[in-house]
Structure 1
Amino acid sequence: MRCAPTAGAALVLCAATAGLLSAQGRPAPPEPPRFASWDEVNVLAHGLLQLGHGLREHVERTRGQLDELERRLGACGGRAACAEPGDAAASSARPPQTVPEAAPDALQSLQTQIRAQNSRIEQLFQKVSQQQRHLEKQQLRIQKLQSQVGLLAPVPLKHGVAKPARKKRLPKMDQLGGPAHNISLLHRLPRDCQELFENGERQSGLFQIQPQGSPPFLVNCKMTSDGGWTVIQRRQDGSVDFNQSWEAYKNGFGDPRGEFWLGLEKIHRILGDQGGKLAVQLQDWEGNTESLQFPVHLGGEDTAYSLQLPAPLASELGATSIDHSLPFATWDQDHDLLGNKNCAKSLSGGWWFGTCGHSNLNGQYFHTIPRQRPQRKKGIFWKTWRGRYYPLQATTMLIQPRVAAAS
């Protein structure tokens, strides 16, 4: 009979598996603590995963061999049918032998051990997989924190700073704020970009500022011969959705290195009670540009961030003739001057709408000019320049407070 030697080989294979598992469970000798790099941790995690796969495959092969042995033992049935096919002649010459009674019990014991080992390997594999997922999440958090730390640099971002491989859309501008201070000021942050200019800064870029009564936040400063201007809005490629709620327009959204809206509350804090100047830069799809500049005053949230303009411009943009002001409106906060229509819902985005048809620099971005006029009026437009039904290609809005500019 040839069954017993095969069962013995399976037992040796099973014992090897048990030895490998016990080696995995043996504690390693203590080593001096050190900080492992991400690459080292990643290699270790992948190595454990490969080990788990190998152990599981090994157990599956062993279990298959045991199942085959059990089938053959069942086929023996106490007869000499256990002989190999090539030994038919030899078995007829030998007296019949019976299967040892202990063989099925030993086989069942081996199967029980294999099942237990398979369960342990499966648990190990699951733990390693969970640890790998945890490490990947930690790496994403580290990358996010590193990106935010880079944005908190106290000096303007130079060309040497690596740009992200893909665009990141920040839900709120508040995420860019932080406790970092500019090197140029020892005791406090500048109130605005104009104060930075007055302190000798001539390089445009991202800076931390802190207007009076406000926490610090990050702004994009543009330094010109007229002083320092704070960029409050930019449209250039449609990468950010400007059809946002009142809360989003209040706090700000987007990326100040690309498309963004600084936030009504921040704009109000920068301009202060004295107001200042608003500059608007427009560009059409033929490469033509237009620049406008006029004095403004922006109220607080209790006034729906109403924008007060000089009389001629106020009339041009649809403001009332009483106080020459335009309240800000969004789809969920209807403050426009039309009682029977919600301009933000009818058009798109949030804006100082007035009567819907004069301007909207926060409208829907179109990469090509739509054919249908109802669709075109949802776009970015400034009626007195290219008309209500011409969606502009790019816009930039900048402010400079009056008090800071007086020097």
Structure 2
Amino acid sequence: HMLLLVWPNCKKKKKTSQIYQPPVLNLEALPETRSLFAPLDDVHLLSNGLLQLGQSMREFVQKTKGQINTIFQKLNIFDRSFVRLAALAGEIKEGEEELKQTAAVLNTHNEEIKELSKKISVKMESILQEKGQLLNKVEVMEEQLSSLSVDLVTVRQVAEIDSLREVMQRQDQSINSLLAAMVEQGRHLDHQTMKIKLGRKKYSDYFFVCVLLVFTTTLCFCLYFPFFFFSVAFFATDFPSDCSELFDRGERANGTYAIKPNGSEPFMVFCRGATVIQQRRDGSMNFDQPWEKYENGFGELQGEFWLGLKKMYSLASQGNSVLHIQLEDWKQNRHFIEYRFYLEGPESDYAIQLEYLSGSLPNPLSNHTGVVFSTKDRDNGRHWASRCSHPQSGGWWLSSCGDANLNGVAIKRRLNESTAASFHTLINNPPL
């Protein structure tokens, strides 16, 4: 507190008789003044509040930063998913374009076949009419001949009858050739129908990604599928169970055909009187393939190929199967071996059952009965490269190291030697 001294005004007066009074300090008249600084308790309280506010702000900033990082991670995941989805959509679009091109080509071929079928039908009707007329003429001539004696038959009439018979024979040959051509056209229609079914099945797995693309493809098929249905119904053809049945129907030409074993979907095979399940000629195809390839098949049916364990199982499951192996060396010496053949299913790793029937060579597969199939990435028989002194190659029923393996490495000859070794493995299902 400050003390303020107040002095009264002193003026020079005339001397009087009054007694002099000293100045007096008036404490009651002093006003109370306030300090310019806050109290210490208020300062502590304010500093604690500011400290808590700073900590809350820091926690809020850290929490916000974590949420922002989480958002960025989700955005990155979304970007990757979008990129994968875009790539998948591109693949589907490419597949759709390829399928459209194939459908356009097949549609063109179908139109040509349709026109050819119409021409054949018109030609056949004309031939049938001519045949009917010739038959009527022959009947008239025969009636005339029957009413006359043999001596009265002139040479001219006999020549006319012979001429009519020759014309009828030629007409019969023309009819037979036309019927054969119609059957051939029907077979081609069946093959094209099979290709379309396989093409539709190839891209049906992408239906959940882009329904509109699949709908467009399906609509494209619907434009010409009614003609396929009419053609198949007209020629009354169905898929044979194997090449042996096709051979029994009178088909003698080697080539690719569609078959449908019992309980199986239709698929394409190469027929040589029997169903060819494996073919090697010049070593152009690499047979050192993984399990998936050996199970589903690989190669080209017109060249070197392996039909596939699944398809072989469907053929062997029909019973009474004969495995016929044909071999030819570089000197064109040919040999064969035949076995009674049965193949177990995928749950048993396609274990093979063989019974030797005949052959021009000693039995090289005598120890293969009950042996499971193995590949380089699935060693079911425990006889692959890591356990054998000589590395194995190609999938086969391996019972021990060094076994006969028809899918092994192909040994190629020198370039100046044009002949090559080859062999064919066939499954035949003769009737019981």
Normalising by structure 1, we get a TM-score of 0.46
Instruction: Give the greater-gyration-radius structure (CA).
Output: 2
Normalising by structure 2, we get a TM-score of 0.44
